[in-house]
Every structure is written in C-alpha cells, then in structure tokens.
Copies of this chain bind each other. A is one copy, B any other.
Amino acid sequence: MSLLQEEREIILSNEFVESFDFAEVTEFVKNASKDLFISHHFKNKPKGKMLVQPRGGFPTYKKQFELSEFFVKSNVDVLPLTIDSNTRLNDYATAQKMLRLSEENDVDMLNGYPLINHGYRTTRKMFTHFNKPVSLRHGTPDARLLIETAIASGIFEIEGGPITYLLPYSKNFPLDKAFLYWKYVERVCANYSGLNEPINRESFGPLTATLVPPAITIVVQLLEMLLSLEEGVKSFSVSFAQQGSMMQDAVTSEVLMKMARHYAEEIDCGDAAINLVYHQWMGAFPTNKDYAEQLINMSTVIAKLVGADKIITKTREEAAGIPTKEANAKTVANTQYTLGILNGLPKIVDAEEEEILTLEVQAIMEAVFNDPADTLWRKVFNCIKNGIIDVPFSPHIINHNNMITIRDAQKNIRIIDRGNVPIPDRCFKYERAQCDLTKDTTSIVNDIVHDIGIMQ
C-alpha cells in the first residue's frame, strides 16, 4: 500500500480538502452499519426483489438532506448522491464559490452536491442518520479524491469507470490517464472491502444512450468489471439501459450475466458478487408528462423481466430539466408499487439472438485479449484507439465512430457498418439481414434520427 499511500498524499494536498484521519475512517468503515452497504442488501434481499434508486443531488447540505428524507419516506431502497459538474472536473474552487452562493441566496447554483467542499465529516452525518445505502453518481475522469471522500462519508457504492465515464462525456480527456486514475479507485475500494461488507462498484452501461449495440455495451461492461475485479473488488454491478426492444433487453441481460460470470471465473475472481442494474430509458423523453410516466412504468416492467437487481429511475419531468423532489419521490413510490404487483414472470427465449450476441461479444473480447500490450488496461486502451471497441455517438476524439447502427422493424439495434469492430461475418450478415438496406444514405440518416427519438 506504499505506492498507493504516496499517490494518496499527493491527491490530498489540495487547499479545498479537509485533513483526512485515515485511522478514524478505517474504524468507521469497520464498524459501519451493514445497512449502509448495498453489497449487503444485494446478498440478503429476497429472490426477485429489485432495489429502487432514483437520481438526485442538490448543492447545499440542507437541500440534500431534505431530498434524502423525502426519498426515505417514499420507500426508496438506495439513496443517490449526484455530484455537481465542477467537482467532476476537479474544479473545487468554482464549486466552493457556487456552494456559498447557493447557501446565501437559496438558489441552486450547482447541478449536484459538491462533496469535496462539504467534506466527509459533514456528509457522513447525513448518511449515517438515514442508514440507507448510498450510491455515488458522478462522471468524473479523475475521481481519486472524490472516492476517498465518499467512502469516508459512508458512501459504499461507487459508479463509473475509465471507459463509461469518459467516452460519453468528454472530447479529449486523455484516456490512458483515466485508466490509471480508476485503477487507484479500484484499489481503494478493494482495500476498504476487507474491513466490513465489500464496497460495491458499478459500471455505467448506458454509455451515450444512443443506438449503442448490445455487443459494445456488454464488452465495455465486462472489461470494466475485469479491471475492477483484478484490483481486488469483491462486489460489482454491470448495467445497461432500456434499448427500445424488449427482446433485445432480455437477450442482453442473459448474455451479459452469463459472460460476466464466465470471465470472472477465468481470472479466478469467481468469489466476487456480480449484480445487474437496469436504467430506465436514458434517451430522449416525451415532453408529455403522462406519456413519460407510461415509458417509466414500461421500463420497470422490463427491468423485472430481465431480472435486474437494481433499477435506476427517471421522472415524469425528465424532458423538462432537473426534476423536483416530488416528481422523483412519485416515481419511487410508483416503481415500488409496480414491482409489487408484477408477478409470475415468464421465461423468455431467443436462442438464435442469444447465440449471435454471444459470438459477437466473444470475438471482441478475444481481440482485446490478443492485443500485444502487457496489462489489461493497456490492451483495452489500444483497442479503443484502433476501433476494435467503437462506441456510437461518443464525442471523444479517440473513438473511431465508424460503426453505424440502425433499428430493425422490431426496434432492435442492428449493426449495418461494423467499422473496425471484429463482428464475425456470420453475425454481421445476420444483423444486416434484419434491416431494410435498400434505402439510400439520406433515408438511413432519416431513419437514425427517427430511431433516436422512438420514445417521443
């Protein structure tokens, strides 16, 4: 832990950081209530029960406390803590200024909770008070300080990863650096995991939420999981968002979970818990709030059909901006009600689709493992750089953007141009055969525009 300790001291030498008492933090984690650990809930929840987690973050302690209190009253299973975008970019000075303005003027000047500025001593009071597991939602490429502060605050689930938090959000943050920063995060999580219940890491499966084919989603989930498990993390959640076709969601879930267990075994990490998280529709929402509620309810039904362990909810106000706490709480209550009445889940099968998707994922994973680099993160880095992994609609300069996807008649996302991604010929032929490819490119562009807006 000495190299880690060195890095740690560099990170903490920052004028906005309170002094860390690691001995005290260790004692705190060791003795913390099991209820604070989502890994504990995953392990002990009744079979089929899905944990419900909304989104939300406010700048001031007072408003964040009120939000959490409101959520607890509406029967939430997991509290969210969404971090503001200045903190995500490690700009604690601006976050500090905006926090002060928010406190003084009762206007929210930040789009989330500036955790570094509040500090762990303060924040811990809030979450030990509610005694519910908390999930950290951020989007930070360099989250080292944030995660140290989060765990010291009693936040025992950390979302994100070097690929999923970079490729959808950044144009040119250096990806190699992100891998190293996240390696630190994984190690910190792993180290704390021995003290009590494990810290849970969660990958962000939705990526750009825009026509990402399941093969890419799954590969990215598997790789972030492996990068985490190889550092010693013992509880990991893979995730994906509603894709627009129930069948494709079901097949994605099946293949993702099977492969996740397979590859975890391969690196001798079969003892790690692997959970499935489902995001309610992450694409463009209808502006009609009644319709938004229909979409949300449908997402919940699908989440249960695909066997998710946790669902992350949207609100009827999604199209309008940051939702009120009332809207958020309403979704939580509605989702819990729906999960309660949703019974007798049928078995779903599509052997052909499952085979095709499995072959695609295996082929890409094999290409990654065959990269000549010496460590897994370097192999992954190279494969993003050379387009073996290609995320549609990523704004990042490193991403190839040569893969083209459209929806077939059943709204399944299909790959019609594979770019440099090693989709096997048989699979590629199958994918294209589902689509009408007689159209000219102009029509296909129109189709893509339509395919992105299918829920509106």
Closest chain B residue to A413, Cβ basis: B344
Whether a CB of chain B sits under 8 angstroms from the CB of A172 is no
Structural contact, A298 and B295, CB atoms closer than 8 A = no
Closest chain B residue to A342, Cβ basis: B298
Whether a CB of chain B sits under 8 angstroms from the CB of A330 is yes
Whether a CB of chain B sits under 8 angstroms from the CB of A350 is yes
**Chain B neighbourhood of A349, CB < 8 A:** 346-349
Evaluate whether A344 and B411 lie within 8 angstroms (CB atoms) in the complex, with A286-B337, A291-B337, A334-B291 already known. yes
Bound: A343/B330 CA distance, A: 26
Structural contact, B454 and A341, CB atoms closer than 8 A = yes
Whether a CB of chain B sits under 8 angstroms from the CB of A50 is no
**Chain B neighbourhood of A298, CB < 8 A:** 297, 301, 338, 341-342
**Chain B neighbourhood of A294, CB < 8 A:** 297, 334, 337-338, 341
Q: Which of A28-36, A160-168, A217-225, A245-253 sits within the interface? A: A245-253
Structural contact, A244 and B343, CB atoms closer than 8 A = yes
Whether a CB of chain B sits under 8 angstroms from the CB of A455 is yes
Whether a CB of chain B sits under 8 angstroms from the CB of A412 is yes
> For residues 218 through 252 of chain A, which have their beta carbon under 8 Å from a beta carbon of chain B?
244-250
> Least Cβ distance of A222 to chain B in Å?
23
Contacts A246-B343, A294-B338 supplied; 4 other A-B pairs, CB < 8 Å: A247-B344, A247-B345, A249-B344, A343-B411
Provide a sorted-by-A list of 10 A–B residue pairs whose CB atoms are within 8 angstroms: A245-B343, A247-B345, A286-B337, A294-B334, A298-B338, A341-B455, A343-B411, A344-B412, A347-B349, A347-B350
